[in-house]
């Protein structure tokens, strides 16, 4: 499938864009071993504007996925709060769609049915849901695979089905937790281009968690860095001033890409080293 290309536009959204997600002093603590308290995330604040693609990077265990779960309304913060388009979040964030690292496809249903059910559970008649699902299967390059089951699809194909399953509901915010992590490098770049193309059509706000700094820079308008845990916090917020449209593979050859990578890695490297030092004790 030919890569879907973004229309030309400046790299970042104007300052006047509405705030889609605002984390205000969000702290997350867990009770462990009966009484001990583990402070996973220290009070943390940052924003994602409407139409902005923001990646969150940091060492393993620093709370990146935890912040996504708080934003989705799956986890209540111990302190602070989340605002979604200016309204304080209470319960599930119904304006978001969440693509997890692991496949969420039901093995007894076809790929088409897996996409359609995202609408059916919200009351859409089956015929209408199937028609919409077929359209989305085409948009992710899988029109010929509608009747396949999950075990008959490659890892990249399953990710495309999962992406269609999330986007068919047209969420205003897209939360992605290492969605391409299990894929090989070539397939990750193909999926990155597909994602950029679909995102460019209606510019959802995106919070994208990844361990891959190159992937974060290639896709994003901003890269947010979290410190090593416990008490992880945001320690860096880097604008990515690379022109769009971008190709997830070709952009890595741009000298500006390498300069951005060096600047961000210089800060991130110290936090990754702390994690390894802690694990060696």
User: Does residue 258 register a pLDDT over 80?
Assistant: yes
Other CB atoms within 10 Å distance of the CB of residue 149: 16
CB 150 within 8 A of CB 107: yes
Supply the pLDDT for residue 17: 75
Map tokens 């820079």 to a residue. Answer: 217
When mean pLDDT is compared across 71-75, 98-102, 120-124, 219-223, the lowest value belongs to: 98-102
CB 86 within 8 A of CB 19: yes
Structure tokens at 144: 């010929």
**Second-level CATH architecture of 17-95+174-265:** 3-Layer(aba) Sandwich (3.40)
User: Does residue 60 register a pLDDT over 90?
Assistant: no
Supply the pLDDT for residue 276: 63
User: Does residue 95 register a pLDDT over 90?
Assistant: yes
Q: Please compute the mean of the pLDDT values over residues 272-278 and round it to a whole number.
A: 72
Under the banding of pLDDT at 50, 70 and 90, the label for residue 10 is very low
- Dihedral Cα 81, 88, 104, 217, nearest 10 deg: -70
Domain residue limits, the chain: 17-95+174-265, 104-170
Question: How far does CA 142 lie from the centroid of its chain?
Answer: 22
**Angle at alpha carbon of residue 141, lines to 138 and 144, rounded to 5°:** 70
pLDDT tens per residue, range 201-215: 989 999 999 999 999
- Cα gap 184→14, rounded to integer Å: 35
pLDDT tens per residue, range 172-202: 999 999 999 878 888 999 999 999 999 999 8
Supply the pLDDT for residue 278: 59
Supply the pLDDT for residue 37: 84
Supply the pLDDT for residue 92: 94
Q: pTM of the predicted model, to two decimals?
A: 0.90
CB 54 within 8 A of CB 220: yes
CB 40 within 8 A of CB 29: yes
Peptide bond into 143 cis (omega under 30): no
Q: What is the mean pLDDT of the chain?
A: 90
Under the banding of pLDDT at 50, 70 and 90, the label for residue 13 is very low
- Cα gap 219→256, rounded to integer Å: 14
Q: Please compute the mean of the pLDDT values over residues 65-81 and round it to a whole number.
A: 95
Name the strand (E) or helix (H) holding 173: strand 173-177
What are the φ and ψ backbone dihedral angles of 262, each rounded to 5 degrees?
Answer: -65, -45
* Residues whose CB falls within 8 Å of the CB of residue 128, separated by 6 or more in sequence, listed in order: 119
User: Does residue 263 register a pLDDT over 80?
Assistant: yes
């Amino acid at each position: 499938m030919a890569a879907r290309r973004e229309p030309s536009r400046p790299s970042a959204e104007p300052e006047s864009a509405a705030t889609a997600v605002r984390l205000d002093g969000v702290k997350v603590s867990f009770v462990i071993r009966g009484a001990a308290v583990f402070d996973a995330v220290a009070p943390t604040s940052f924003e994602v504007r409407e139409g902005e693609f923001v990646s969150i990077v940091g060492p393993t265990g620093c709370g990146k996925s935890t912040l996504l779960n708080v934003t989705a309304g799956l986890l209540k913060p111990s302190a602070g709060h989340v605002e979604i388009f200016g309204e304080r979040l209470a319960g599930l964030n119904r304006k978001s769609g969440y693509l997890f690292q692991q496949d969420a496809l039901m093995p007894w249903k076809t790929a088409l049915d897996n996409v359609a059910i995202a609408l059916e559970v919200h009351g859409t008649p089956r015929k209408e849901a199937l028609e919409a699902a077929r359209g989305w299967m085409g948009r992710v390059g899988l029109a010929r695979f509608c009747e396949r089951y999950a075990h008959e699809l490659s890892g990249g194909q399953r990710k495309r089905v999962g992406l269609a399953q999330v986007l068919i509901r047209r969420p205003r915010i897209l939360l992605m937790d290492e969605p391409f992590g299990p894929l090989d490098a070539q397939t990750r770049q193909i999926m990155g281009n597909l994602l950029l193309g679909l995102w460019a059509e209606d510019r959802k706000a995106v919070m994208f968690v990844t361990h891959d700094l190159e992937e974060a820079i290639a896709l994003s308008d901003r890269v947010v860095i979290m410190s090593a845990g416990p008490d992880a916090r945001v320690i860096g917020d880097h604008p990515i001033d690379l022109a769009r449209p971008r190709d997830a593979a070709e952009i890595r050859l741009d000298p500006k890409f390498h300069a951005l990578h060096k600047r961000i890695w210089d800060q991130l490297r110290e936090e990754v080293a702390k994690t390894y030092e802690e694990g060696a004790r």
